[in-house]
Amino acid sequence: MLDFLSLSPWLATLLGASLAAMAGAMAHRIAALLALRATRGLPVLQTVVQACVPAMRVLLPLFATQLVWVAAADTLPHLGTVRHLTGLALIAVTAWALIAAIGGVADGLIARYPANVEDNLTARRVATQARVLSRTAMTGVVMAAVSLMLMTFPGARQVGASLLASAGVVGIVAGIAARPVFSNIIAGLQIALAQPIRIDDVLIVQGEWGRVEEITGTYVVLAIWDERRLIIPLQWFIENPFQNWTRTSSQILGTVFLFADYRLPLDPLRAELSRILETAPEWDRRVSVLQLTDVTERTIQIRVLVSARSSGLAFDLRCRVREALVTFIQREYPDCLPQVRGPKETARADASLAPSP
C-alpha cells in the first residue's frame, strides 16, 4: 500500500484532503451544536450563529483542505492551480459567512423590537438602522472580497488594490455612471444615522400619501394607499423636502370643513360633535374643536378639528364626523344648508353676527 502511494503522490494528497474535509465537517457539527447551546439565552447571538451555520459548513472543510494543499510538495503537477482555486473559494465563502453574520445581527436586533405594537417608534428606528447599515456593510464585504480575489491574479493585482482602497473606482465602474450608486450608498448611511425616514413611516412625497415599505441600499419603496408602489432613490430624500407624519409620533390631527347658511346655530352642532366622538372608536380623546373660521357673502365656513392615534384612523374619523354632521344639519336644520342670497339678505346676516355695542 505504501509503495502504491509513493508511486501516486496525488492520490496520497487527495486522501489527506478528504480526511481533512471530513475532520472539518465533524468540527463544524460539534462547534455548531456548542455555539447554539451557549447562545440559547442570547437571542441576537443565536440568530447570528443560525445564520452562519450554512456558510461555516462549507468554510471549515474548505479551510482544512487548503491546509493540505499548502503542506503538499510543490513538485506536484498543477498544485499551484488547485491552491489558487481553493483560495478563491475560501475568499468567496468567507465573504458569504460575513454577510450571513451581518444579516443575522440585523435580524436579531429587529426581532428584539417587534413592530406589531401600538407605539412602535423604537422598533421602526431599530429596523431602519439595522436594514440600511447591514446592507451597506454587506456591500463593503462584497467589494472587499472581489478586490482580494482580483489581487490573487498577478495581472489584476493593481486593479484589486485600487478597488480595495477606493481609488480609481470611477474609472473601473464606467466613470460617471458609478456616481449615483455611491451617492445613494452615502445617502443610505445618512438616513440610517439621522433617520429622517424609518420603516413604516407615513410620508407625503410629490403629493402621494404612503407608508415606507422597504429601505434598500439605493432606493426607498413607498406603499401608496391605493396599493401602488413609488420607488424613490435615497439621494432624493437628502436633497428634497417631504412630509413625515410619523417622525416623532403617529398621533395626528384631522380637519373637517363644513359650509352652511348664516342662520345655523353652532352650539347644537358642538353638542352633536361631542356625541359623535364619544361613540367613535377612532378618536383618541385628545382634541375636539368646532370653530367658525371664515365667512363669505353666501356661507359660513366651519372647521372641525379632531385627533386620532394614526393617519389611517384620522382619515376614517374625518369621514365619520363629516357624514354625521351633514346628516344632522339635513335632519335638524335643513333650511341652514348653503343658499344663494341677495345683497340685502347678506347684509342683514352680517349685521346679525356683528358684536353688540
Higher pLDDT: 312 or 122? It is: 312
Higher pLDDT: 207 or 165? It is: 207
Mean pLDDT, the chain, rounded, equals: 80
Mean pLDDT within 229-250: 85
All three cell numbers of 330: 339635513
Mean pLDDT within 6-19: 73
Q: Is the pLDDT of residue 6 over 90?
A: no
Q: Is the pLDDT of residue 4 over 80?
A: no
Mean pLDDT within 145-156: 75
All three cell numbers of 349: 346676516
3-class state of residue 356 by DSSP: coil
Residue 128's closest CA among 190, 49, 46, 183?
190
pLDDT of 57-82, one tens digit each? 888 888 888 888 777 777 777 778 88
Mean pLDDT within 265-281: 93
What is the amino acid identity at position 9? P
CA atoms of 144 and 184, how far apart (whole Å): 19
Query: Which residues on adjacent β-strands are paired with residue 307?
Result: 253
Q: Is the pLDDT of residue 264 over 50?
A: yes
CA atoms of 10 and 309, how far apart (whole Å): 72
CA atoms of 271 and 332, how far apart (whole Å): 13
CA atoms of 134 and 44, how far apart (whole Å): 14
Higher pLDDT: 254 or 171? It is: 254
pTM of the predicted structure, to 2 decimals:
0.54
pLDDT of 82-134, one tens digit each? 888 888 888 899 999 999 999 888 888 888 877 666 666 677 777 877 887 88
All three cell numbers of 29: 457539527
pLDDT of 27-48, one tens digit each? 888 888 888 888 888 888 888 8
> Which of 45-54, 119-128, 256-265 has the least mean pLDDT?
119-128
Q: DSSP letter for 355, please.
A: P
pLDDT of res. 346: 53
Mean pLDDT within 339-343: 62
Q: Is the pLDDT of residue 305 over 90?
A: yes
pLDDT of res. 179: 55
